[in-house]
Amino acid sequence: MLAKDEDNDEDRHEELARAKLTLIECFVAIAVSLTCVCMSAVFLVQEIEFIVARGVSDNFLGLILVPLVEKAAEHLTAVDEAWDNQINFALFHCLAPSIQTALLNAPLTVIVGWGMGKEMSLNFEIFMVVLLVLSILVVGNFLRDGKSNYLEGALCVLVYFIVAVCTWYYPGVEIASTNQY
């Protein structure tokens, strides 16, 4: 399936003619980019409380802003692959990070938080669970026939904007203080 998409790549001859990096250059590039991404993530996390203090809801920040910034390169890669008629590669770039987050990152975060003595759980609000289920149903229905068109893409973007508006106006959950004096 992926090999067939690779054969259908419209600019494959241009990509094969490009100069390739050596192994050492690849490791240096990965190290530099990983350092930059980690620093960006640290700076982003440090600014979250100031952004929330200005009126942006936690849900909007966690579901819309952070993933949009974090996955910008993957989004552009998926668009480029779809433009080159490699729809399976584009689909894998969209679905694989979601699966990785659901099955690895979230449970690993809870385990690391437990090890550090931080109270964390996978007990999500009903609002988040409903959004997740509805998103899965919408995307699943569009992928069921194995074809796509501009209308289905536009509807997916519309669903994303609906989720963004819902999370912007969803009332924040106040955390009750457990400190007793």
CA distance 71 to 23: 26
CA distance 129 to 143: 21
pLDDT tens-digit readout, 50-74: 888 888 888 888 888 888 877 888 8
pLDDT tens-digit readout, 122-178: 888 888 888 888 888 888 888 788 777 888 888 888 988 998 998 888 876 554 444
- According to DSSP, residue 56 is labeled -
Structure tokens, 168: 């912007």
Which residue do the tokens 């385990």 mark? Answer: 111
Q: Looking at residue 10, what is its pLDDT?
A: 66
CA distance 5 to 1: 7
CA distance 69 to 37: 11
CA distance 89 to 47: 34
107 or 10, greater pLDDT: 107
State in Å, rounded, how far the first CA of the chain is from the last one: 64
CA distance 136 to 181: 46
In this structure, are residues 90 and 74 in contact, taking their beta carbons and an 8 Å threshold? no
Average pLDDT of span 33-46: 86
CA distance 139 to 162: 14
Burial of 179: CB neighbours in 10 Å, binned 0-12, 13-18, 19+: exposed
Q: Looking at residue 14, what is its pLDDT?
A: 74
